[in-house]
Amino acid sequence: MNKFDNLRGTIVVVSGEAKLTLKMDRFAKQYTEAQKYLDSEVLKDSSPYVPMRTGVLMQSGIRGTVIGSGEVVWDAPYARRLYYGKSFDFHKGKHPKACAFWFEAAKAVHKNKWIAGAKKLAGGG
């Protein structure tokens, strides 16, 4: 077995097979910032597509999401049913763009902006 260490990682060679372990700690801050940006933008840009009668569903996205976790969650008890459009009439009075699959609707419009912003913060663009 041969083992080579440097500041960026470890390479281990066993019987002709190599295993590379990279140290990504130096990128942690920029990846964390990129994830926070992405979570915030997804939540903000999805809002116009979230059905709204009283605002509880939209607020559940703010309450249910930990910015930077990589998960945007609308946690109202009926959120799943509304997201998939089951047994619901989407009132358009307060949110004219309200629809089922609101994340997908927002992604169709904002995906390139999300990618560009996350790349910039992560150091890749």
User: What pTM did the predictor assign?
Assistant: 0.77
What pLDDT, on a 0 to 100 scale, did the predictor assign at position 55? 92
> Which pLDDT belongs to residue 118?
95
What does the pLDDT read at residue 123?
Answer: 85
Task: Give me the average pLDDT of each 10-residue run along the chain (125 residues).
Answer: 52 62 69 94 97 92 95 94 82 88 97 96 81
Phi then psi for 77, rounded to 5 degrees? -55, -30
